[in-house]
């Protein structure tokens, strides 16, 4: 899983460092990131004040595998939702009967709750992609990482009407042992990718399709984007890739948890 920089600088560092910030964790309980920054030396300690509720802890390792097995493909869509491009991506997925995992930025989910609900209603899964898509999260404090992950979890859950994200994907792949353990403790499996389609750079539809065809042997999880600028190439690439993969005998599934 190579690091990618899609969206860095577009969202900006919306909330800045989380030191001293009181966080509203999913479930509605309030706890302090300041205690995390000052006194927590491990992910377990950092989340000790977060409500557990019915959250089931999942594995901390970064997942790539598909629940459809060796011939499975996971379509993952990052950085949205976006009012122009997310509906078009949803239309293409619906046309070919494909379910995907949408890795949503917290501020985007909060701004467009109707789109989050559409994603859920269509049978797709949600993924926490942090509050502000800071690709340098792995260089920041544990308190900052907590704020980015837990606030995004809350934003996405509220926007969806109560459906929690099932995965956590670090912006640009900026995972840390701490962030993976924190996400897993909230029931969000850390999610990687095998094929970076480079669609964020808008290399052309043909180039996006060629990247998938060339790199799919590397593994089943494909990375696309539905926000951050003109995503027309992504939409057209999906329109070509999905039926092509079906014809080759692939099935579309979700990352294992």
pLDDT digits (tens, 9 = 90+) for 131-176: 999 999 999 999 999 999 999 999 999 999 999 999 999 999 999 9
State which fold the 60-253 domain adopts: TIM Barrel (3.20.20)
- Any idea where the domains of the chain sit in the sequence? 60-253
Question: Which is catalytic among the residues 124, 128, 225, 226?
Answer: 225
The rounded distance, in Å, linking the Cα atoms of 196 and 77 is 11
Look up 78 and say whether it is catalytic.
yes
More confident residue, 196 or 8: 196
> Does 111 score more than 70 pLDDT?
yes
Residue with tokens 């979700």: 254
Predicted pLDDT of residue 98 = 98
pTM of the model: 0.82
Section 205-213 average pLDDT: 98
Lowest mean pLDDT among 27-31, 64-68, 94-98, 149-153: 27-31
> Does 60 score more than 60 pLDDT?
yes
Question: Which is catalytic among the residues 78, 82, 138, 151?
Answer: 78
The rounded distance, in Å, linking the Cα atoms of 95 and 173 is 30
Look up 112 and say whether it is catalytic.
no
255 strand-pairing partners: 66
Render the burial of 230-243: b for 16+ CB within 10 Å, e for the rest.
ebebbbbbbbebbe
């Amino acid at each position: 899983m190579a690091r990618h920089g899609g969206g860095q600088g577009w969202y900006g560092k919306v909330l800045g460092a989380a030191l001293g910030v009181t966080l509203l964790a999913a479930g509605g309980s309030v706890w302090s990131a300041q205690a995390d920054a000052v006194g927590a030396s491990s992910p377990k300690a950092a989340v000790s004040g977060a409500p557990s509720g019915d959250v089931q802890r999942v594995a901390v390792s970064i997942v790539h595998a598909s629940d459809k097995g060796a011939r499975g493909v996971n379509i993952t869509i990052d950085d949205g939702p976006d009012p122009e491009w997310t509906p078009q991506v949803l239309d293409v997925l619906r046309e070919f009967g494909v379910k995907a995992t949408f890795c949503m930025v917290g501020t985007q989910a909060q701004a467009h709750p109707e789109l989050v609900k559409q994603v859920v209603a269509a049978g797709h899964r949600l993924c926490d992609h942090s509050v502000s898509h800071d690709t340098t999260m792995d260089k920041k404090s544990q308190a900052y990482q907590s704020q980015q992950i837990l606030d995004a979890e809350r934003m996405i859950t509220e926007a969806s009407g109560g459906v929690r994200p099932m995965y956590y994907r670090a912006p640009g792949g900026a995972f840390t042992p701490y962030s993976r353990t924190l996400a897993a403790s909230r029931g969000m499996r850390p999610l990687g990718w095998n094929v970076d389609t480079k669609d964020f750079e808008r290399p052309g539809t043909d180039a996006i399709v060629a990247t998938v065809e060339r790199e799919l042997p590397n593994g089943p999880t494909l990375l696309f984007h539905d926000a951050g600028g003109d995503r027309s190439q992504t939409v057209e690439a999906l329109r070509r890739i999905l039926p092509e993969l079906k014809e080759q005998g692939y099935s579309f599934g979700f990352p294992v948890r």
